[in-house]
């Protein structure tokens, strides 16, 4: 019935689209060349089946540049682009600025991860986006060196020290654990996971603070991993970002790696030294609180200023359909926003790690969806990284961070 209704909607819209090229849907999307080619092909298929023309507005691969180009267009209330992909960290800004058109009431959200829809894709009770690509922190581990992944950070540290000592007899450059400790957004995502459900950005009465016992314990542990335990490399706080972490593990010199799901396919590539030796699991839990992964990914939204609303809505339904989300898995290796695809037998045959990812995504937690989040993150990155470098104690760093965060909240007239 839903498929029939959707095809009927496309038939009606195809008549409306006969007015000319001004009825085209402009879709802004960035990424690698292969990803952009995929979107071109998908747009062409949508046009063939619906009669609605779609024009791809190719954005840079850099996400900061993508965000800036969208902000410029939306601030100017330009009618194009009509549809765009948003990093999850932008949704708070875009929704608070009233730049997003509420999606149609008949958009079916049941197949998607309910927690993601409720915590990320609704604003003031209205559905304003849908997840297209899911992301969350995971733990990779060497199945040939440990029997099972650790369930707590303390267990990970003990295991990493033991295996590191043994491996260094033949591999002097072997380390127990690598993670993203450089001063950038990746540091925030891993910090939230070290802190668990009891820490991270503590939101109270519209205010945000970092200075709490769970965060102090997390920072102390992160620093100790680098020094004095030396389970993590000395350059963790200066150079370690996603690719540096991924390459170190893939070269066979690491026991545990915290990274995003994208690394799985690279670890399992034909020329990878860790092919067939890599396991994937949820990130460990702290002593207090439960394990939690930081949520990432991209969501699709419709501009408030579109002049082709019905056509844009039809395109959103098309790219979030079961068949097209499955194509993203099979052709791009993406993690779909639809929960129902994580049980698809053909997908599990190609990507068996989806068994672990489903549970990770069900319990993942987003960063604060605030319009001023990027400013708060910049403050947090600075002070957390100072602790990792040994230039500040956790208590001192978090207290200073809170003072600067309160200044940001005051500028936005937020009552903490």
Question: What is the C-alpha separation between 306 and 317, in angstroms, rounded?
Answer: 16
Provide the token pair at 84.
């765009």
Place of tokens 């996971």: 193
Of 169, 142, 168, the C-alpha closest to 156 is: 142
Of 9, 407, 404, the C-alpha closest to 211 is: 404
Question: What is the structure's pLDDT at 386?
Answer: 98
Tens of pLDDT, residue by residue, the chain (416 residues): 444 344 434 433 443 443 444 679 999 999 889 999 999 999 999 999 999 999 999 998 888 899 999 999 999 999 999 999 999 999 999 999 999 999 987 789 999 999 999 999 999 999 999 999 999 999 999 999 999 999 999 999 999 999 999 999 999 999 999 999 999 999 999 999 999 999 999 988 778 999 999 999 999 999 999 999 999 999 999 999 999 999 999 999 999 999 999 999 999 999 999 999 999 999 999 987 789 999 999 999 999 999 999 999 999 999 999 999 999 999 999 999 999 999 999 999 988 999 889 999 998 999 999 999 999 999 999 999 999 999 999 999 999 999 999 999 998 776 54
This prediction has a pTM of: 0.87
Q: What fold does the segment set 2-134+295-362 form as a domain?
A: D-Maltodextrin-Binding Protein; domain 2 (3.40.190)
Question: What is the C-alpha separation between 62 and 66, in angstroms, rounded?
Answer: 6
Whether the ω angle into residue 81 lies within 30 degrees of 0, i.e. cis, is: yes
Rg value, the chain, Cα: 22
3-state DSSP call for residue 72? helix
CB count, 10 Å around CB of 60?
Answer: 12
Contact of 200 with 191, CB cutoff 8 Å? yes
Place of tokens 């009606």: 12
Contact of 128 with 301, CB cutoff 8 Å? yes
Q: What is the DSSP string of 344-399?
A: -HHHHHH-TTHHHHHHHHHT-BPPP--TTHHHHHHHHHHHHHHHHTTSS-HHHHHH
Question: What is the C-alpha separation between 366 and 87, in angstroms, rounded?
Answer: 11
Q: 278: which strand partners?
A: 142
Question: What is the C-alpha separation between 138 and 282, in angstroms, rounded?
Answer: 5
Contact of 194 with 218, CB cutoff 8 Å? yes
CB count, 10 Å around CB of 172?
Answer: 8
Contact of 246 with 278, CB cutoff 8 Å? no
Provide the token pair at 77.
């209330």
Q: 285: which strand partners?
A: 152
Of 11, 29, 3, the C-alpha closest to 301 is: 29
**Maximal CA-CA distance, the chain:** 73
Q: Where are the domains of the chain?
A: 2-134+295-362, 138-292+370-411
Contact of 416 with 237, CB cutoff 8 Å? no
Of 210, 222, 208, the C-alpha closest to 396 is: 210
Contact of 206 with 416, CB cutoff 8 Å? yes
Contact of 135 with 335, CB cutoff 8 Å? yes
138-292+370-411 matches 2-134+295-362 in CATH topology: yes
- In CATH, the number for domain 138-292+370-411 is 3.40.190.10
Place of tokens 């994937």: 280
């Amino acid at each position: 019935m839903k498929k029939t209704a959707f095809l009927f909607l496309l038939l009606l819209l195809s008549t409306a689209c006969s007015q000319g090229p001004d009825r085209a849907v402009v879709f802004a999307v960035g990424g690698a060349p292969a990803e952009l080619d995929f979107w071109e092909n998908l747009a062409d298929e949508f046009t063939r089946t619906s009669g609605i023309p779609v024009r791809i507005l190719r954005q840079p691969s850099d996400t900061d540049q993508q965000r800036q180009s969208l902000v410029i267009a939306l601030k100017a209330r330009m009618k194009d682009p009509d549809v765009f992909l948003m990093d999850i960290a932008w949704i708070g800004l875009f929704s608070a600025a009233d730049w997003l058109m509420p999606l149609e009431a008949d958009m079916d959200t049941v197949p998607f991860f309910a927690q993601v829809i409720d915590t990320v894709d609704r604003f003031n009770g209205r559905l304003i986006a849908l997840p297209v690509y899911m992301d969350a922190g995971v733990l990779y581990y060497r199945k040939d060196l440990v029997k099972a992944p650790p369930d707590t950070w303390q267990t990970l540290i003990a295991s990493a020290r033991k295996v590191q000592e043994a491996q260094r007899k033949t591999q002097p450059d072997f380390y127990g654990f690598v993670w993203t400790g450089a001063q950038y957004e990746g540091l925030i995502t891993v910090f939230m996971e070290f802190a668990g459900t009891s820490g991270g950005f503590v939101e109270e009465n519209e205010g945000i603070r970092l200075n709490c016992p769970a965060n102090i314990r997390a920072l102390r542990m992160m620093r100790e991993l680098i020094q004095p335990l030396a389970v993590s490399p000395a350059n963790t706080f200066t150079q370690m970002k996603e690719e540096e972490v991924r390459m170190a593990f893939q070269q066979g010199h690491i026991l545990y790696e915290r990274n995003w799901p994208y690394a799985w396919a690279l670890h399992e590539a034909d020329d990878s030294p860790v092919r067939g030796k890599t396991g994937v699991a949820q990130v460990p839990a702290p002593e207090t609180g439960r394990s939690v992964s930081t949520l990432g990914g991209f969501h699709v939204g419709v501009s408030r200023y579109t002049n082709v609303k019905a056509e844009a809505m039809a395109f959103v339904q098309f790219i979030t359909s079961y068949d097209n989300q499955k194509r993203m898995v099979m052709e791009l290796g993406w993690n779909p926003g639809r929960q129902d695809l994580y049980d698809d037998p053909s997908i599990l045959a190609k990507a068996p790690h989806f068994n672990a990812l489903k549970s990770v995504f069900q319990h993942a937690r987003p960063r604060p969806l605030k319009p001023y989040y990027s400013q708060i993150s910049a403050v947090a990155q600075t002070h957390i990284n100072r602790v990792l470098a040994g230039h500040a104690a956790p208590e001192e760093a978090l207290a200073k961070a809170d003072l600067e965060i309160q200044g940001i909240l005051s500028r936005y007239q937020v009552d903490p």
